[in-house]
Amino acid sequence: MTEPTVRFHTDALSHDEGLLGVATLDRPRALNALDHQMIRELLDVVARVEADPSIRGLWIESSEDKAFCAGGDVRDVTNQGQRGGLTDVSHASDYLADEYLLDVALRLCHKPVFAWGDGYIMGGGMGVFQGADVRFVTEHSNLAMPEVRIGFVPDCGGSWFLHRVPGGLGICLSMSGVTVSAGDACWLNLADWLMPRVEKETLYQSILNLPFASKATALGALGTQLAEATGASPRQGPWEMHGLKLSHAIRHQAPKAVWSVMQHWHHEVPELFVGLEQASPGASLVAGHQFQRARYGSLVEAVIQEHDLGMRMLTDGEWCEGVRALLIDKDKNPQWRFSTVESVTKDWIEAMLAPMNWSDGHPLQHRLLTHGYLNR
């Protein structure tokens, strides 16, 4: 029998007869990378929390400190980095459809969701983390949407939630795949509260003491408590120090121009764009265009677009090649379709962004409709 990858239990609340659900991600050897089993188990948890009136909220954490969740299980999705791309995307489509359904389910949950994001929070892990109503990071947290470095684009709603980053800087995070510290994550609106790791239990007990008469009541009370208890702000990170100036430099720019600005800043302020040269030129530009396309849409619309984008980049081979080079063969020498951003063609970008034609209906749309999320 397969061991569960998500452990679930409930703890009693202090002020009423309700319960707080606790979901613990438990694939420590894989840094809690989201395989299909873990995604399905988390979907079951959210459904249980929504359906049980005695469960008033959900707390999500990791079983160990190194990582909250280091991303999706992309080895499996890309068939171990199959050379030349995939000819059959049915398995990958099912995986991504369930993963994106989970991201939407968390975001639209009727009950408050709290995420303790200690350690690495990357890729698919960001999708889970950003779905929470209250996002806690610690001094050990590092956050990223690094997909362009494996030939893909930010997904799990990334092209939607990165618009919450101030100053339009989300496009830089999307196109570069850079990692940000906990302090910068708070400034970038990718986290709500920076808490010392040692205060986890104290924080958890304070959540058990909240009034859970409604979602708004619980979240309002917690916000008041934290605002009164939180001390000095963390030391400024490079994004907080330079973000305003960078924002002015990229304002109203097309993705290719944004890339040029990032290259300039990579030389001027190296700590902003560490590893920028690792990004796939093609994937980076597609990420920029997808970010701009999702600007005025909903989370649901964004994940549907991201799902089809994933299928395009799997059949094209760019995503498979990135996984092969970084995670399978580990030669760190991907043979990208385009060697430079300047050489990426408009036709290729448009082909990657084109919707897929699904003869039996869109797999993600069907799931969203079945769960009542499609029009929310």
* Predicted local distance difference test score (pLDDT) of residue 316: 96
Averaged over 92-109, what is the pLDDT?
98
Residues in the chain: 376
Provide the residue ranges of all domains of the chain, joining segments of one domain with +.
Answer: 6-370
| DSSP run (H or E) holding 194 | strand 193-194
Are 124 and 69 in contact by the 8 Å Cβ rule? The answer is: yes
Distance CA 200, CA 190 (A): 19
CATH superfamily, region 6-370 = 2-enoyl-CoA Hydratase; Chain A, domain 1 (3.90.226.10)
For the segment 279-327, what is each residue's pLDDT rounded down to a tens digit? Answer: 999 999 999 999 999 999 999 999 999 999 999 999 999 999 999 999 9
- Contact, 353 vs 359, CB < 8 A? no
- Least confident span in 37-41, 78-82, 232-236, 298-302: 232-236
One DSSP character per residue, 263-318 reads HHHHHHSTTTSTTGGGS-HHHHHHHHHHHHHTTTS-HHHHHHHHHHHHHHHHHHSH
Lowest mean pLDDT among 37-46, 74-83, 124-133, 300-309: 74-83
Q: What angle in degrees, to the nearest 10, is found between the helix axes of 36-51 and 90-107? A: 30
Q: What pLDDT, on the 0 to 100 scale, is given for residue 186? A: 96
Q: What gap in Å lies between CA 323 and CA 321, rounded to an integer?
A: 5
Average the pLDDT over each of 153-162, 163-172, 193-202, 220-229 and give the range with the smallest value: 220-229
Parallel/antiparallel/unpaired status of strands 142-144 and 120-122: parallel
The pTM for the full model equals 0.97
Helix ranges, the chain (H): 36-51, 74-77, 90-107, 124-130, 158-161, 170-176, 182-187, 200-208, 215-229, 238-250, 255-268, 281-293, 299-316, 318-323, 346-353, 363-370
Half-sphere exposure of 332 (CA within 13 A, CB side): 3
pLDDT for 53: 97
Q: Could you read off the pLDDT of 188-234 as tens digits, one per residue?
A: 999 999 999 999 999 999 999 999 999 999 999 999 999 887 655 56
Q: Tell me the average pLDDT of the chain.
A: 95
pLDDT of residue 71: 96
